[in-house]
Amino acid sequence: MRERLGLNLEQAQKLIMTPELRQAIVVLQLSTLELAEYVQQELQENPLLEVRDEEEVAAADDELVDDHEPFEIDWQEYFQDGSDLGYVSVPREERPEWNHQNLLTGTPTLQDHLLLQLKIAASTTRELEIGTFLIGNLDANGYLKISLKEAAACLKVSPAAVWRVLQ
């Protein structure tokens, strides 16, 4: 057998019993009376610990609040201008009521899918109009129901322009 040197990455989960964890386990197991005795014992052993009444704590909190004026942000105003994100929000009064029916979606149809692709691929508004017209004239199987000449006549464009958009 040959011995080889190599690196292995191994992940292990271990629980290390720190003094804080041991103390927390002990404190959590104590009843209310035992906890009160434990606190009193710790207060006697450690001169840096002191007990403060609830009134003192409330008074100290009031002093902190009185010293500093509360800073409130008007979030409606802050988020009202969405121009940095690329959209402008509609004022709240003009928005339609939302309910669960507005959130339900169906599977996209062939026409929906093609319109989405057309919006991405069309470079001019005229191409978008021609493509929308052609997609609207597809049958249920996806075949174009009219000829290119008929489409060109309806849209008043050349058959070559219709052919370019169709491709």
Q: Which domains does the chain have, with CATH numbers?
A: 18-89 (no CATH), 110-166 (1.10.10)
Quote the pTM value: 0.38
Average of per-residue pLDDT values in the chain: 80
Return the pLDDT at 74: 76
Return the pLDDT at 155: 86
Return the pLDDT at 35: 92
Name the nearest CA neighbour of 90 among 99, 100, 80, 98: 80
Comparing 17-31, 50-64, 91-105, the range with the smallest average pLDDT is 91-105
Residues 6+ apart with CB under 8 A from 127: 164, 165
Distances (CA, A) of 104 to 5, 27, 37, 108: 60, 52, 60, 12
What proportion of the chain, given as a percentage, has pLDDT over 90? Answer: 11
Q: Count of CB atoms within 10 A of residue 161's CB?
A: 16
Angstrom distance (rounded) from CA 103 to CA 116: 19
Return the pLDDT at 110: 85
What proportion of the chain, given as a percentage, has pLDDT over 70? Answer: 77
Listed in sequence order, the DSSP H helices in 7-147 are 19-29, 32-45, 54-67, 75-80, 100-103, 110-121, 125-136
Residues 6+ apart with CB under 8 A from 33: none
The model's pLDDT over 97-156, given as tens digits with 9 standing for 90+, comes to: 666 666 666 777 888 888 888 888 888 888 888 888 888 888 888 888 888 888 888 888
* Angle (nearest 5°) at CA 123 between 119 and 127: 75
Angstrom distance (rounded) from CA 36 to CA 98: 55
Q: Has residue 32 got a pLDDT over 70?
A: yes
Read off the pLDDT of each residue in 21-36 and give the average, rounded to a whole number: 92
